[in-house]
Structure 1
Amino acid sequence: MPPDVLEVGAPDSSGAGMHWRALEGLYASAPINGLFRSRLDIPGEGLSRITFDVEPDCFHAAGAAHGTIYFKMLDDAAFYAANTLVTDRFLLTTSFNLLLSKPIKGGTVVAEGRWVSGRRRVLVAEARLVDAEGDEVGRGTGTFMRSRIALSSLPGYSGSGGPG
């Protein structure tokens, strides 16, 4: 089971570490992520951390981040935490539940993802959002399943994932 606290350690040059770096590259290469100021870091198996800069171009009419931004941040963090355990296939989100607990008025937000259960066909992962003041502003839980898409077939995935 992964630890409760995300701690970034030394770079891992093992097969798992190569897979994690390749997932970071996959995130960076996704066209949708060109619209966001964000960065994925995978500190270990079953864990992810995405740092987002939330700016006014993400706001709804009342001056805070739109709910779609919460979903994007939470889904991505949970997805990548789960995909650290799957080295051969791209995962697909099949369901996602979220709780929005505080408006995000801008600034840096960190999405922390953590794998919860499952390793074969269906995986469950959760994520939480923490704002610049250290307050939790949202959380969510997702269910992810293996697709037929080989990670190695995706241009942004440049690592050797090793056996799945």
Structure 2
Amino acid sequence: MPQDHLKKLENLYYAAPINEALNPTISISENISSIEQFIGQSQCHAGQFAHGSVIFKLLDDAAYFAAASSQTEFFLVTASYEIKFKKPAPVGHYKAIGELIDSSGRLLKAKSKVIDENDQIIAKGKGLFIPTKQQLSHLKGYSS
């Protein structure tokens, strides 16, 4: 896998407007990605735990970029994602780890998990990702 592709994927992640407010960090290698993020009070629901949408974003992004590491031409989208929440996530630092499971055929399969500072699993899941007709080379962030 070309190293410049992996670096461009990281740049693409940082170029996404949604990540400006969340301030995550990402590292992508062949078939694996890792995202770290502090979940603050503003990302919690009334029960004082991280909203499920925040955990889903970490899971989806980690699995997505593990899958995208194997796709050098087209932008992927999430076709489906199945989540299993294990325990609530209070304010703190979290890490999502994604791994490509299968890239044979048109659909790419990847799994991911979110762990807390004590390496306890908060949530895990797996997803299917499909290439679009949109070329990576035309996207702001990837091409710069």
RMSD between superposed Cα atoms in Å: 1.1
Gaps of 5+ in 2: none
- What number of residue pairs does the alignment pair up? 144
In structure 1, the residue matched to 2:55 is 70
- Identity fraction in percent: 35
Pick the structure with more strand per residue: 2
Matched AA of 1:127 = S
Deviations 1:57-92 (A, max 9, x none): 000001000000111000000000000000000001
> 2:135 is matched with which residue: 150, 157, 163?
150
Supply the distance in 2 between the matched residues of 1:118 and 1:48 (Cα, whole angstroms).
15
What pairs up with 1:41-120 in 2 under 5 angstroms? 41-42=27-28, 44-120=29-105
Rounded to whole Å, the distance in 2 between the matches of 1:118 and 1:17 is 19
Mapped pair 1:140 → 2:132:
no
When normalised by structure 2's length, the TM-score is 0.96
SS at the partner of 2:113? strand
Aligned twin of 1:18: 4
| C-alpha deviation, 1:34, in angstroms | 1.1
Q: After TM superposition, what 4+ stretches of structure 1 lie above 3 angstroms from structure 2?
A: none
In the alignment, residue 15 of structure 2 is paired with which amino acid?
S
Structure 1's unaligned 5+ residue stretches are 1-14, 160-164
Kindly indicate whether the alpha-carbon contact (under 8 Å) linking 1:85 and 1:119 is maintained by their aligned counterparts in 2.
Answer: no
